């Protein structure tokens, strides 16, 4: 047995979805000691009861997860319906520790400065965050600095009263699990937007408003890069064209995608979903199913080379703009993962933003494998 079992299902309500997913999970792995629980936003009200029920049913107190904008599992991508995605794992007892943080100034991780952190040397932290928490960036930095681990995960739904958990429901802050070096993992990120223009230098900005690019009105550069068809009807570009900021020092030309918020045709200004300053570099990009499919296949091939074909379990965090909204119906994104890596037990959710290292991404998919 691989040490991992997973199940995902929809139901008439949240608890019915959890019960159905638990039934599909089947017999627990021998020595199971960590559970993963993801509910869709439509099932959010059941989250505290579902967590307590699963702790009793499994006999395992350590559960992590939360309420996503939807959930994913083997053969399932559910957004609007009550749905649950579960996974149970049997890991070395000293291979992981769960954590909960709300105050970055007073953050204390398990075994901080001594004991477990020093001995386990955690390589990865699976993190779930409340998108309403203004301290979120500082909390991510605190987890990374305090543990030395690489962060992966995502932001949960905003409507749920208890959006995430590490043993107990939590509002605000972050929670999750640190995995020590004894737990072999591999993780990858895939982009959902392709570049459609050259890198441009911000020459004037005010807050999140780009005034000029390369010494020209920002709107002129946008219209030039998106091409005449979209430039002639900017309403067609809404929701399709975005702005990206290159990640300095990235080994594969990584970038952070942010939304275009508004344009000012009279002054030629462009508002984006990120603070900008003169000297910054950005480029325009577009959501594109074909290029997203190719990049998903690239990530999966890379993970397969790193041992992913023999993965024992997986967690997938995918932007809500992906899944059926980008790849179409019939759980096409999950089918691509299964086709590349085989029937690995998998749990996950559709996110409000994705976490990779200490950065917040959009339109990406982050797959973490337990090897």
Tracing tokens 């086709």 back to the chain, one arrives at 339
Nearest to 321 by CA among 282, 249, 276, 273: 273
User: What is the pLDDT at residue 283?
Assistant: 95
Task: Looking at the structure, tell me whether residues 296 and 282 fall in a common domain.
Answer: no
Beta carbons within 8 Å of 305's beta carbon, 6+ residues apart: none
Nearest to 89 by CA among 3, 170, 156, 10: 3
Task: Looking at the structure, tell me whether residues 199 and 175 fall in a common domain.
Answer: no
Task: Looking at the structure, tell me whether residues 135 and 208 fall in a common domain.
Answer: no
Task: Looking at the structure, tell me whether residues 83 and 214 fall in a common domain.
Answer: no
d(CA 158, CA 163): 7
Of the candidates 219, 254, 287, which is a domain's last residue?
287
Task: Looking at the structure, tell me whether residues 15 and 146 fall in a common domain.
Answer: yes
What is the pTM (predicted TM-score) of this model? 0.92
User: What is the pLDDT at residue 292?
Assistant: 95
User: What is the pLDDT at residue 168?
Assistant: 95
Query: pLDDT averaged over the chain?
Result: 93
CA atoms within 13 A on the CB side of 144: 15
Task: Looking at the structure, tell me whether residues 144 and 197 fall in a common domain.
Answer: no
Task: Looking at the structure, tell me whether residues 97 and 227 fall in a common domain.
Answer: no
Tracing tokens 């159905």 back to the chain, one arrives at 20
Q: Which helix (H) or strand (E) holds 147?
A: helix 136-147
Which CATH number does the domain housing residue 246 bear? 2.40.30
- Tens of pLDDT, residue by residue over 96-118, are 999 999 888 766 677 555 688 88
User: What is the pLDDT at residue 291?
Assistant: 92
Task: Looking at the structure, tell me whether residues 177 and 204 fall in a common domain.
Answer: no
Task: Looking at the structure, tell me whether residues 59 and 179 fall in a common domain.
Answer: yes
Considering its fold, how many domains does the chain have in total?
2
Which carries the bigger pLDDT value, residue 118 or residue 225?
A: 225
d(CA 2, CA 42): 32
Task: Looking at the structure, tell me whether residues 148 and 179 fall in a common domain.
Answer: yes
Q: Which domain does 224 fall in, by range?
A: 193-287
Nearest to 146 by CA among 181, 191, 101, 183: 101
User: What is the pLDDT at residue 252?
Assistant: 65
CA angle 362–334–238, rounded 5-degree value: 35
Of the candidates 217, 252, 287, which is a domain's last residue?
287
Of the candidates 271, 287, 303, which is a domain's last residue?
287
**Does residue 1 surpass a pLDDT of 60?**
no
**Does residue 250 surpass a pLDDT of 90?**
no
Beta carbons within 8 Å of 28's beta carbon, 6+ residues apart: 5, 58, 88
Task: Looking at the structure, tell me whether residues 251 and 318 fall in a common domain.
Answer: no
CA atoms within 13 A on the CB side of 83: 25
Task: Looking at the structure, tell me whether residues 250 and 357 fall in a common domain.
Answer: no
């Amino acid at each position: 047995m691989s040490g991992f079992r997973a199940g995902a299902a929809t139901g008439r309500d949240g608890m019915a979805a959890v019960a159905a997913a638990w039934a599909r999970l089947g017999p627990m792995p021998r020595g199971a000691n960590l559970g993963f629980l993801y509910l869709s936003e439509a099932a959010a009200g059941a989250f505290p009861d579902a967590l307590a029920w699963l702790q009793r049913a499994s006999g395992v107190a350590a559960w992590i997860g939360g309420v996503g904008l939807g959930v994913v599992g083997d053969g399932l991508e559910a957004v609007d319906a009550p749905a649950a995605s579960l996974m149970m794992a049997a890991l070395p007892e000293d291979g992981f520790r769960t954590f909960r943080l709300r105050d970055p100034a007073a953050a204390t991780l398990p075994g901080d400065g001594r004991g477990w952190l020093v001995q386990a040397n955690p390589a990865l932290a699976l993190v779930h965050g409340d998108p309403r928490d203004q301290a979120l960036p500082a909390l991510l930095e605190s987890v990374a600095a305090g543990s030395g681990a690489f962060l992966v995960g995502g932001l949960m739904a905003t409507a749920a009263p208890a959006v995430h958990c590490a043993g107990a429901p939590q509002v605000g802050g972050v929670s999750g699990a640190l995995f020590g070096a004894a737990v072999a993992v591999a993780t990858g990120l895939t982009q959902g937007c392709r570049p459609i223009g050259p890198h441009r230098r911000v020459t004037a900005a005010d807050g999140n408003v780009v005034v000029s690019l390369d010494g020209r009105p920002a709107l002129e550069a946008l219209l030039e890069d998106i091409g005449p068809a979209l430039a002639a009807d900017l309403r067609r570009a809404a929701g399709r064209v975005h702005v990206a900021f290159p990640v300095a020092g990235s080994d594969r030309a990584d970038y952070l995608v942010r939304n275009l918020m508004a344009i000012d045709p009279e002054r030629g200004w462009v508002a984006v979903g990120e603070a900008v300053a003169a000297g910054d570099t950005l480029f325009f990009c577009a959501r594109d199913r074909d290029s997203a499919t190719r990049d998903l296949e690239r990530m999966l091939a890379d993970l397969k080379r790193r041992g992913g074909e023999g993965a024992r379990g997986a967690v997938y965090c995918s932007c809500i703009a992906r899944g059926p909204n980008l790849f179409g119906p019939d759980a096409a994104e999950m089918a691509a993962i299964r086709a590349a890596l085989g029937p690995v037990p998998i749990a996950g959710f559709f996110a409000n933003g994705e976490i990779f290292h200490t950065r917040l991404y959009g339109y990406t998919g982050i797959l973490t494998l337990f090897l």
